A and B are shown apart, each in its own frame.
Chain A
Amino acid sequence: MNIIQELLFVVALGVAIYLFARKAAQIRKNILLGRDVQLNDRPAERWRNLLLLAFGQKKMFRNPLVAVLHFFVYAGFIIINIEILEIILDGIFGTHRLFAPLLNGLYPVLIGCFEVLAVLVIVGCATFLIRRNIVKVKRLAQHELDGWPRSDANYILITEIVLMLLFLTMNTADQALQQHGHEHYIATGPFWISGQFVPLFSGLSDTALVAIERGCWWMHILGVLAFLNYLPYSKHLHIILAFPNAYYADLRPKGKMENMPAVQKEVQLMLQPELAADEPPADGIPKFGAKDVPDLTWKNLLDAYSCTECGRCTAACPANITGKKLSPRKIMMDTRDRAEEIGAQVAKTGTFAEDGKALLRDYISEEELRACTSCNACVQECPVSINPLHIILQLRRHLVMEESSAPQEWNMMFSNIENNMAPWKFSPDDRDKWAVEMNA
């Protein structure tokens, strides 16, 4: 490889890393638009979650067949990165198959393993394309995926297949050149998969083979760098964010709702007015619940960016199953879209000014929020520890406490609890009527 190619490679690598880092920093900023919340307790359990849920993909195995295919793609992605390391080093130093002389007989075994994984990745991605576009599995064909989300998913799968094919073709051409005794292509021993296809290239000249090998090498690595930069604009970002998201997952029982200390204090002063004298004056009027993205926690926003729109939440949601508008996946997609919108404005003007829009109503309707039974099925299902319910409940708090917006039946329930200490209109005196009957 000549010096110009090396230079081009280093420039491409540098630009790709720079662009990715810039976009990653922007996403980090967007996530930190959310309010602060402490999620650093019990580190041992958090590391355990990271290992089991993110690294081990434990929850994916609730559906074993899909889990195995997904694991192929995932393992392929991670392990083939070792090969990418060799490719990058070759690119920088102008070497060819830098690891081959170091590993000797082990090298073709290693590449053979990568090739098996590459084939498994192709099988996995092809199956996923079929499930999305031909079988049309319900959760992968629902209307909230219309447009960009559906294309996004297909682009990712097709790109992964193409990258793997380039890798295999490159290896085939390489071995054909080795057999021709081309001086630059040192003998490595046959590779398991691509080795089977060498006869296909037998009629080609050295020049043609070098062109194929180099062409595939360049397209593969440029494809990988382009894909890296596609990630932050895509649902595929979950391959990175699933890890921190598992670490920061809520460790408390799923039934527990977040406390509101401001309301707790206010009610406390109402019930025990004598405490008010010692109370420092409150600074500002507290906001109740969430109307827009900055009212949510940073974990809610990390959730939104971690979502890969698989729809396991929506497929398990009793409201969605019975035809209601609510879809937990859409809650996450809306949150991410709104975070992107606000983030873009902040990046441009340096601050977030009212833009006449909000997550509530412009993205998520009251009808969706009202349909939730707080059953936690969506939280249970999510393989990457996303909690759509937390967002729903915060938006509900805003509706009721900031806007007094509730169905009439809920308002009656509220007043029954307040006046009769029960959600129905019964006399509190009758609360122990059943006991009186038993005692009689």
Chain B
Amino acid sequence: MQVKTMAEYAASGETPEILFWVGCAGSFDQRAQKITKAFATILDKVGVRFAILGKEESCTGDPARRAGNEFIFQMMAQNNIAVLNGYEVKKIVTTCPHCFNTLSNEYPELGGNYEVIHHATYLQQLIDEGKVRMKEDGGFKGKKITYHDSCYLGRANNIYEAPRKVLEALDAELVEMKRCRSNGLCCGAGGAQMFKEEEKGSTRVNFERGKEAVETGAAVIASNCPFCMTMLSDGVKEQGKEDSVQVLDIAELIARQLD
């Protein structure tokens, strides 16, 4: 397959259907790169003409803004908006709920107005339209999957059902943690916590959440965020369950079962 950049599309005078906003974690983090590749594979298989910004993409500024550094945020945001507006981007799909939140809620008042969709919602649309079809004897059929609501998709943007609908398409048994949906417990990475050591406490947030997820007895913990992915993987390791419990992004789950 060929992943093309906006620049390449522009050079050939074509316009892609969507811009796939990869995000920093999806671009650089080895584990998150697999999510990126899985989602790109799905898009390719379904025949969606998509582009990436490639080297022209920058951090949205989310962690800087939440740590308190508005200057860095504004620099990133205004540069990104200049690039996006330069390509006349209309529709963005992203695999990171932090990028999703910043692009859709915080860029408009700075002059960046786009239709922004998180990949959970986008995958649900593709499934509903019959464009994504699963294998008949899916590998997850009857398996227990628990879904972890990321804060920036859930409480921050009220998206709870789309990712669950995507998981339903796998014919798996969906088990909920006690703290789910709007009661969901954070993985511990938001608000720029990903980039620093936690404050002193009795335990780590991701250990607390990892324990809760493992206790459901699920074979798979499904996530929708590259930062939750890191935190939950460590949480599962802390429980000594890394061999029996997998943490997978919903895009990876779908990519594995594509017909």
Residues of A participating in the B interface, judged by any CB pair closer than 8 Å: 62, 252-257, 259-260, 263-264, 266-268, 270-271, 288-289, 316, 318-319, 321-326, 367, 370-377, 379-380, 393, 396-401, 406-407, 409-410, 412-414, 417-418, 421-424, 426, 428-435, 437-439
Which of A268, A375, A397, A399 is within 8 Å of B155, CB to CB? Answer: A375
Closest CB in chain A relative to B8 CB, distance in Å: 11
Could you tell me if B68 and A397 are in contact, using CB atoms closer than 8 angstroms?
yes
Residues of B within 8 A of A (CB-CB), count: 73
Tell me, in angstroms, the Cα distance from A289 to B158 when the chains sit together. Answer: 27
Tell me which residues across on chain B come within 8 A of A260, comparing CB atoms.
70, 74
B165 within 8 A of A: no
Could you tell me if A322 and B204 are in contact, using CB atoms closer than 8 angstroms?
yes
Closest CB in chain B relative to A246 CB, distance in Å: 17
Tell me, in angstroms, the Cα distance from A254 to B193 when the chains sit together. Answer: 18
B208 within 8 A of A: yes
Interface pairs (11), CB distance under 8 Å: A253-B105, A259-B110, A267-B74, A321-B185, A322-B188, A322-B201, A325-B199, A375-B155, A424-B24, A428-B55, A438-B1
Could you tell me if A414 and B69 are in contact, using CB atoms closer than 8 angstroms?
yes
Tell me which residues across on chain B come within 8 A of A434, comparing CB atoms.
22, 26-27, 33, 36-37
Residue of B nearest to A367 (CB): B199
Closest CB in chain A relative to B224 CB, distance in Å: 14
Which of A255, A324, A413 is within 8 Å of B192, CB to CB? Answer: A413
Tell me which residues across on chain A come within 8 A of B198, comparing CB atoms.
322, 324, 371
Which of B54, B68, B70, B158 is within 8 Å of A431, CB to CB? Answer: B54
Secondary structure dominating the interface of A: helix
Most buried by A among B28, B61, B158, B182: B28
Tell me which residues across on chain B come within 8 A of A429, comparing CB atoms.
55
Tell me, in angstroms, the Cα distance from A321 to B207 when the chains sit together. Answer: 12
Tell me which residues across on chain B come within 8 A of A418, comparing CB atoms.
72, 75
B189 within 8 A of A: yes
Q: Contacts A259-B109, A410-B192 given; indicate if A319 touches B199 (C-beta within 8 A).
A: yes
Tell me which residues across on chain B come within 8 A of A318, comparing CB atoms.
185-186, 188, 205, 208-209
Closest CB in chain B relative to A119 CB, distance in Å: 33
A-B CB proximity, top 8 nearest: A255-B156, A323-B202, A374-B191, A400-B68, A323-B201, A375-B186, A396-B68, A421-B58
Could you tell me if A253 and B208 are in contact, using CB atoms closer than 8 angstroms?
no
Could you tell me if B202 and A430 are in contact, using CB atoms closer than 8 angstroms?
no
Tell me which residues across on chain A come within 8 A of B158, comparing CB atoms.
253
Could you tell me if B28 and A424 are in contact, using CB atoms closer than 8 angstroms?
yes
Tell me which residues across on chain A come within 8 A of B1, comparing CB atoms.
438-439
Tell me, in angstroms, the Cα distance from A263 to B156 when the chains sit together. Answer: 24
Could you tell me if A374 and B24 are in contact, using CB atoms closer than 8 angstroms?
no
Tell me which residues across on chain B come within 8 A of A374, comparing CB atoms.
66, 151, 190-191
Could you tell me if B208 and A322 are in contact, using CB atoms closer than 8 angstroms?
yes
Could you tell me if B67 and A252 are in contact, using CB atoms closer than 8 angstroms?
no
Tell me which residues across on chain A come within 8 A of B133, comparing CB atoms.
none
Tell me which residues across on chain B come within 8 A of A266, comparing CB atoms.
71, 74
Closest CB in chain B relative to A257 CB, distance in Å: 6
Could you tell me if B55 and A254 are in contact, using CB atoms closer than 8 angstroms?
no
B52 within 8 A of A: yes
